[in-house]
Amino acid sequence: METLTAIQKQYLEQPKERISGSEAIVRCLLAEGVDILYGYPGGAIMPVYDELYKYEDKINHVLTRHEQCAAHAAQGYARISGKVGVAMATSGPGATNLVTGIADAQIDSTPIVCITGQVPSHLLGSDAFQETDIVGISTPVTKWNHQVTKASQIPEIIARAFYIAKSGRPGPVLIDITKDAQFEEFDFQYKKCTGVRSYVPVPKTDDSSVTAAAELINSAKKPLIIWGQGIILSKAELELKALVEKAGIPAAWTIMGASALPTSHPLNIGMVGMHGNYAPNVLTNDCDVLIAIGMRFDDRVTGKLDEYATQAKIVHFEIDPAEVDKNIQTDVAVLGDAKQSLLQLLPQINTNSHPEWLQRFKDLYEIEYDKVIKNDLHPTKEGLTMGEVLKEINIQTKGEAAIVSDVGQHQMIACRYADFNVTKSNITSGGLGTMGFALPAAIGAKMAAPEREVVAVIGDGGYQMTIQELGTIFQNKVPVKIVVLNNEFLGMVRQWQQLFFEKRYASTEMVNPNFVAIAQGYYIEAKKVTKREDLASAVKEMIDSDAPYFLEVCVEKEGNVFPMVPSGASVSDIRLE
């Protein structure tokens, strides 16, 4: 059960009071425990900002430099805290600028509530200044959305928004509020939402399906667990660890599931997917029972569908019925919250071990180490590699930092080589692959968890998509650490051009600015590293700093990320070079 703060209780227990719609919005947010709000003001949302000014001692409004970054910051806040992130924008372009962040949150199951202003209700449909149909635009990429035209609707709709965003499989919700509803007065009282008719956020778990899953797991000779973000969202880290250890099953993770089980755990056998580890990808097509927990069989994980784990019995633990049998046909589907399902499963699991099966993962790891990992982490060539930068970050943070990565080669390197010893430590754009995600998401993550070290790992391409958020960092004194791995290319696209387009590097080479000077222009301490002998001291100086810090590391221009499952290939066809 949720523990309420004193501020929440204050606004939940108030008797009816006649106030404006805009003040009601602020009080609703306070009743939901919102302490940080990311946004950008404008005409259609200005009444709410006027009320926020009066409540600035209770809600910290963070002025981002772009509305998309408000959504990404709300994502970072939500991903590291487990709470609902909140973003706000005006109508028209302000609202449409949120859409990329909303779409990212939808595919990555991130709970955020976005509030947009809208033109007065009598102007709806008239093509008024800065009017767009944001409800229609955002419908495909929200878990739920709603337009409010009367002030009296505000408490119920906001309460419902927070409930829907957080419950079941989380996701983004958008509320569009007309300007006249913000000015209109009504008798305000707030009640939290505890249910919505016809909405079943967590399906009831069928006991017989749990028993059937246990029987398959107990009888397996070569079982393999693949877990996803569902473990983290349901707070089932301990239950996953208990299952892995009791049954002695090798366990691999999707990008979104990283950090649920510590990297150092002996049964954590690495990442699956296009740039995942060699052993779990190859042996997916040799296991006899594949246990998928809180993951959705994304195409980057499965590769060629009709050649994916065809020899295995598939057990799928999943909260969203729509994901079951969507891509991969299951033999046993266990619907429900992952934590509760695993708690039901554990007493039925036999204590077991699979030493010969586990040895095969270790043998394939040695092959990957010799062909790939050794060259990434302990290079003998002159140019710095992305992998050795991550290795140094691991050393300086003891593997306890939250790594917020952008999208591209550096993202795959960060996921492969960062030590994730604490849960909720891998914050990245998984399903949508949004370049520009990391810098604003790192702001939200650091503000949500100021006690944690937050390191944004970004490529030179994605960095320039949201570089203006250095202003947000400076203005709000957010001590996030920024590492730009600069190879002067859009590296992932260049890698594909090298491997599949005969090295025709069309529109991928970057002519970059003086990144250090730009950071210093925002009064952020900055340094550039070009030589291996300077890397360790620079990373240490960055981590030791109590202030925001920018570190540019110039890495080899044409380095590639391996292993790699080529697009459309089977996971068994993973390439090591």
Sheet holding 426-428, edge to edge: 426-428, 402-405, 454-459, 481-486, 549-554, 525-529
Length of the chain: 577
List the structure tokens of 172. Answer: 């983004």
Catalytic residue among 179, 222, 424, 528: 179
Catalytic, 129? Answer: yes
Cβ contacts of residue 527 below 8 Å, gap of 6+?
Answer: 516, 538, 541, 542, 550, 551, 552
Written as tens digits, the pLDDT of the chain (577 aa) is 678 888 898 888 788 999 999 999 999 999 999 999 999 999 999 999 999 999 999 999 999 999 999 999 999 999 999 999 999 999 999 999 999 999 999 999 999 999 999 999 999 999 999 999 999 999 999 999 999 999 999 999 999 999 999 999 999 999 999 999 999 999 999 999 999 999 999 999 999 999 999 999 999 999 999 999 999 999 999 999 999 999 999 999 999 999 999 999 999 999 999 999 999 999 999 999 999 999 999 999 999 999 999 999 999 999 999 999 999 999 999 999 999 999 999 999 999 999 999 999 999 999 999 999 999 999 998 899 999 999 999 999 999 999 999 999 999 999 999 999 999 999 999 999 999 999 999 999 999 999 999 999 999 999 999 999 999 999 999 999 999 999 999 999 999 999 999 999 999 999 999 999 999 999 999 999 999 999 999 999 999 999 999 999 999 999 999 999 998 999 999 999 9
Asked if 313 and 181 count as a contact pair (C-beta separation under 8 A), the reply is: no
Tell me which CATH homologous superfamily contains domain 382-554. Answer: Thiamin diphosphate (ThDP)-binding fold, Pyr/PP domains (3.40.50.970)
Greatest Cα pair distance, the chain, in angstroms, is 72
Catalytic, 239? Answer: no
Its CATH architecture, for the domain 207-361, is 3-Layer(aba) Sandwich (3.40)
* Per-residue 3-state assignment (H helix, E strand, C coil) for 32-46: CCCCEEEECCCHHHH
pLDDT in tens, 250-301: 999 999 999 999 999 999 999 999 999 999 999 999 999 999 999 999 999 9
- Three-state secondary-structure class, residue 363: helix
Catalytic residue among 67, 131, 323, 388: 67
Radius of gyration of the chain (CA): 24
Catalytic, 67? Answer: yes
Residues of the chain with CATH 3.40.50.970: 6-188, 382-554
Return the CATH fold of 6-188. Answer: Rossmann fold (3.40.50)
Taking residue 194's Cβ as centre, other Cβ atoms within 10 Å add up to 8
Residues of the chain with CATH 3.40.50.1220: 207-361
Peptide bond into 563 cis (omega under 30): yes
* Per-residue 3-state assignment (H helix, E strand, C coil) for 103-156: HHHHHCCCCEEEEEEECCHHHCCCCCCCCCCHHHHHHHHCCEEEEECCHHHHHH
Catalytic residue among 465, 492, 542, 564: 492
Residue reference for tokens 């991130």: 110
Catalytic residue among 13, 14, 17, 129: 129
Catalytic, 118? Answer: no
Asked if 269 and 354 count as a contact pair (C-beta separation under 8 A), the reply is: no
pLDDT in tens, 9-53: 888 878 899 999 999 999 999 999 999 999 999 999 999 999 999
List the structure tokens of 444. Answer: 């939200």
Residue reference for tokens 């810098």: 439
CA distances from 553 to 40, 386, 516, 528, 536 (A): 32, 9, 11, 6, 11
Catalytic, 130? Answer: yes
